[in-house]
Structure 1
Amino acid sequence: MITRIWHGRTKAEDADQYLIYVQNTGLAEYFSTKGNISAKILRQIEGEICHFLTITEWENMESIIQFAGEDFEKAKYYEEDKKYLLEFEENVNHYETYVAS
């Protein structure tokens, strides 16, 4: 299993709207991609800034490529992200994931 983590920042005042937007774009696409195991959004407001993490789990690298394309280490953005995000981090992080039983 592989975990993919993306980080983004918005103004705190945009946090609720951006959360809904991510649920309707990124999460919807994650869940519709074969090989996606799970997807979560983490949110932390620090003063006037809100940090978002999307944490997705995938069966294998091929399923991530189905979602993100051949350049799978690049962050994938959607049209209205420019309305909310304070910057566009270029890359995401991938981790081999092991579950203790």
Structure 2
Amino acid sequence: MIVRMWHGRVPHEKAAAYRAFLNERAVPDYRGTPGNLGVYVLERAAEDAVHFVTLTYWTDLEAIRAFAGDEVLKAKYYPEDAGFLLEFEPEVVHYEVVGGEADAGPAHVSH
């Protein structure tokens, strides 16, 4: 299993709208890709901005390629991101999962 990690920053006043966008548009896109095993959206408010991290779980690189294209380390952005993000980080980070255990996790998270 591979974890794909992306990071982005948005202004505080846009955080709630971006959270909604991620859950309504990005999460279903990830989940609708064969080979996606799950997705979590993390959020942390800091002085400079609100930081978002998406952790997506994939069966293999071929599944990631189906989602992101041939350049699997290149970050995938949506047209709507331009109205939220302070910058566009060019790459994501992949980690191979080599151990651990998890419960099923929350069925739905809301604020």
TM-score bracket, normalised by the shorter chain, equals over 0.9
Alignment of 1:5-84 (within 5 A): 5-84=5-84
The C-alpha deviation readout for 1:33-70, integer Å capped at 9, x for no partner, is: 00001100000001251000000010011000000010
Higher relative contact order (CA 8 A, sep 6+): 1
Report the count of equivalent residues: 101
Instruction: Give the alignment's Cα RMSD to 1 decimal.
Output: 1.0
The CA deviation at 1:98 is 2.0
Alignment of 1:78-93 (within 5 A): 78-93=78-93
In the alignment, structure 1 segments of 5+ residues that lack a partner are: none
Of 77-86 and 43-52, deviating more is 43-52
Q: TM-score, normalised by structure 1?
A: 0.95
Corresponding letter in the other structure for 1:85? L
In the alignment, structure 2 segments of 5+ residues that lack a partner are: 102-111
Identical aligned pairs, as a percentage?
41
Corresponding letter in the other structure for 2:9? R
Is the 1:13–1:48 Cα contact (8 Å) retained in structure 2?
no
Corresponding letter in the other structure for 1:26? A
